[in-house]
Amino acid sequence: MDDYRIQTTKDGSLSLYSLSYEEGFHDKDGALRESIRKYLLPAQLEQFSNTEKIVVLDVCMGLGYNTGCTLEKLFQSNVKIEWHGLEIDQRPLNLALNQKIFQKIWSPKLLHFFNCINKSGKWTDGFNEGNIHWGDARQKIYELKDSLKFDLILLDPFSPQKCPELWSEEFISVLTEKLSIKGRLITYSTAASIRASFKRAGLKIYSIVPLTDNQNKWSSGTVAMRKELEEHFISENCQFKELSTREIEHLATRSSIPYRDPTGRGSSKEIISTREIEQSKSQLINTSSWRKRWNTAQ
């Protein structure tokens, strides 16, 4: 575990800092709080209360908070669950499961899920089932049946600048093909490159509304889906909103140039370098002028 440092976040939940990526797994405010705010609430799971089955994909499961929050909520309903996870490194989950601070967050039923996934990669509980696919998500996603369509895709890799492989236009395109008609792809990222890739994949995008105690943040993440949302889903609890003028203009800057990985095997250095070259030749507005304009306008 030399490249992971254990952190306790402000809400008392366990997180990790990756020395190799030089990035934390969560906001310092709280690992659990972040998963609830950026993934669970925008999923609006109550919309699935009348469906027979919900199919969930967790891309970069990490310590398991996004899945944990989602499943705990779904366990309270009678909806059948089919869960799949894509994760390259088993160590974070393994480490978390050995920490009392992590164990006490979850119900026995959820801890059973985590332990099954950790030990055998599979979980069954009545009609519910789950599988984790350990390895590079770019290859492992092809282990999923073509016919499988996801109602929820939770996308949570390290940031695009650190892990561009899982934010590439090509990978986003594959995820889009896996999204069900009414499905939602949810991510913490507000990057113009990612949102522009969602749009080019044919998805409609919404902005996750930040917490009221964080007025400096203009967005807490992105929800992408095939169909436009009915108005009541947007207004309910105000979890997300249409993109603001500021966010729309962001998509017309050089920041919107995508990460490209046509072979699905490019290294992060190659992907970032290719994008930087493309940005340097671009006729799009310089992002710094967009930033300057909106900072002065505030």
Tokens of 136: 């590079």
- Which mean pLDDT values do the consecutive 10-residue runs of the chain (298 residues) have? 81 84 82 91 90 96 96 94 97 94 95 97 96 97 95 96 96 97 95 97 93 69 87 67 91 96 96 96 88 68
Q: What pLDDT score was predicted for residue 28? A: 76
Query: 6-16, pLDDT tens digit by residue?
Result: 888 888 888 88
Q: What pLDDT score was predicted for residue 286? A: 87
Q: What is the DSSP string of the chain?
A: -TTEEEEE-TTS-EEEEETTTTEESS-TT-HHHHHIIIIIHHH-GGGGTTSSEEEEEEES-TTSHHHHHHHHHHHTS--EEEEEEEES-SHHHHHHHT-HHHHTTS-HHHHHHHHHHHHHSEEEETTEEEEEEES-HHHHGGGS-TT--EEEEEE--S-TTT-GGGGSHHHHHHHHHTEEEEEEEEES---HHHHHHHHHTT-EEEEEPPPTT-TT-S-S-EEEESSPPPHHHHHGGG-EEPPPHHHHHHTTBGGGSPP--TTS---HHHHHHHHHHHHHH--SBPHHHHHHHHHHH-
Q: What pLDDT score was predicted for residue 21? A: 83
The phi, psi pair for 92, rounded to 5°, reads -60, -45
Q: What pLDDT score was predicted for residue 296? A: 47
Q: What pLDDT score was predicted for residue 240? A: 84
Q: What pLDDT score was predicted for residue 100? A: 93
Q: What pLDDT score was predicted for residue 298? A: 43
Do 9 and 99 form a contact (C-beta atoms < 8 A)?
A: no
Q: What pLDDT score was predicted for residue 212? A: 64
